[in-house]
Amino acid sequence: MIGDVVQGESEFTLFGRLTRAFSHVARGDLSVITNEVSYLATKLPAAELGRARNRCSQMAATISMIAGLQEEMATSLVDWRKVLDIFGALYPSDDLSRVVSIDRVKIERLASILRQMLPGTDVLWRAKVHKEGEAEKLGLFKTISKGDGPSATYGSWSSFASKELGERAVIDGVVADLIMRAHGWTVLILSSPSEVECKLSIPIIAK
The DSSP letter of residue 123 is S
What pLDDT, on a 0 to 100 scale, did the predictor assign at position 93? 73
The secondary structure of 168-205 as a DSSP string is GGHHHHHHHHHHHHHHT-EEEEEE-SSEEEEEEEEE-E
Q: Exposed, middle or buried, 178 (CB in 10 Å: 0-12/13-18/19+)? A: buried
Distance (Å, whole) CA 92 – CA 84 = 10
What pLDDT, on a 0 to 100 scale, did the predictor assign at position 74? 79
CATH number 3.40.50.11540 is the correct assignment for the domain at 76-206: no
Distance (Å, whole) CA 181 – CA 172 = 14
Q: Is the dihedral of CA 77, 82, 86, 90 positive or negative?
A: positive
Strands 98-102 and 76-79: antiparallel
Distance (Å, whole) CA 37 – CA 130 = 54
C-alpha distance across the termini of the chain, in Å: 41
Percent of the chain with pLDDT over 70: 71
Distance (Å, whole) CA 198 – CA 118 = 9
CA distances to 77, 107, 118 from 111, rounded to whole Å, are 18, 6, 10
Give the Cα-Cα-Cα angle 146, 147, 152 (nearest 5 degrees): 60
What pLDDT, on a 0 to 100 scale, did the predictor assign at position 96? 66
- Domain range summary for the chain, segments of one domain joined by +: 2-70, 76-206
Each of the 207 residues of the chain gets a pLDDT tens digit; together they read: 334 434 444 565 556 655 666 666 677 777 777 777 776 777 667 666 676 767 777 777 666 666 665 566 778 899 988 999 999 988 877 666 788 999 998 899 899 999 888 876 678 899 888 888 888 888 999 998 877 777 899 998 988 888 888 777 888 888 888 889 889 999 999 988 888 999 999 998 866
